[in-house]
């Protein structure tokens, strides 16, 4: 069946942490961390996090704290009371504004290319209730058709119910819907359990053994779909 609807994760696919803001917060607490080094460490830390045991034992909020500590470790920064204080400051900002406020330059044209194929674009994301306001603030709201924030829905990936809620409200069919995410055991497993096809965004080439299609950038997705 041809793809008619594309579900897109938000964090790690469309939006990313503001690493300059993270670096500045760490500096205020006496920790030197280059924003580019943090960004380079992120895919490797995320790969460490993306294992069944961790996903089953944590929720999205708990994984967020672990995620940043793993990034610090990958960047050669020891976890300490100072890093804890910086992360608490960043968490407060995230709760008010959403720290995932960086939009890579290739994201808007990639979304436009998907829309040009006549696809319905739906954001399905584990988030904290601020995703809708964030997308308005950073100019992505007009580039997608619907948005589902797990905090608002009361259920989060990999629970298939979040995908099922999105399918029903988008008037979409599972067999013509593809989900694109950056975490195998949350996005791919969750989407498949709900009957969707799944694609993993893997810019670092860290999932060579994954049993699903992978793309190195969102820009490759339109090409992949056209070839199906």
* Mean pLDDT of successive 10-residue stretches along the chain, which has 228 residues: 96 98 98 98 97 96 94 97 98 96 97 97 97 97 98 98 98 98 98 98 97 96 91
Decide: 5 and 183 in contact? Cβ < 8 Å: no
- 205: three-class secondary structure by DSSP: coil
In this predicted structure, what is the pLDDT of residue 228?
Answer: 82
Only one residue has tokens 């999105």, namely: 166
Q: Which of 194, 184, 226, 223 is nearest to 43 (CA)?
A: 184
Decide: 107 and 218 in contact? Cβ < 8 Å: yes
Residue 102 DSSP code: B
Distance in Å from the first CA to the final CA of the chain: 9
Decide: 127 and 10 in contact? Cβ < 8 Å: yes
For domain 5-14+101-226, say whether CATH 3.40.720.10 is its number. no
């Amino acid at each position: 069946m041809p793809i008619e609807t594309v579900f897109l994760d938000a964090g790690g696919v469309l939006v990313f942490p503001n690493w300059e803001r993270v670096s500045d917060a760490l500096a205020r607490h006496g920790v030197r961390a280059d924003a580019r080094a943090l960004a380079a460490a992120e895919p490797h830390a995320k790969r460490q996090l993306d294992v069944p045991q961790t996903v089953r034992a944590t929720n999205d909020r708990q994984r967020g704290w672990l995620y940043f500590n793993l990034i610090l470790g990958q960047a050669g920064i020891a976890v300490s009371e100072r890093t804890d204080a910086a992360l608490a400051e960043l968490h407060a900002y995230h709760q008010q504004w959403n720290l995932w406020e960086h939009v890579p330059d290739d994201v808007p044209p990639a979304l436009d290319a998907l829309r040009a194929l006549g696809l319905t674009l739906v954001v399905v994301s584990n988030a904290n209730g601020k995703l809708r306001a964030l997308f308005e603030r950073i100019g992505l709201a007009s580039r997608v058709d619907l948005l589902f924030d797990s905090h608002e829905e009361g259920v989060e990936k990999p629970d298939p119910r979040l995908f099922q809620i999105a399918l029903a409200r988008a008037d979409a069919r599972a067999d013509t819907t593809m989900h694109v995410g950056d975490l195998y055991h949350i996005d791919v497993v969750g989407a498949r359990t709900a009957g969707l096809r799944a694609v993993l965004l893997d810019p670092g080439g860290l999932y060579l053994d994954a049993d699903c299609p992978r793309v190195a950038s969102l820009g490759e997705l339109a090409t992949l779909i056209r070839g199906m």
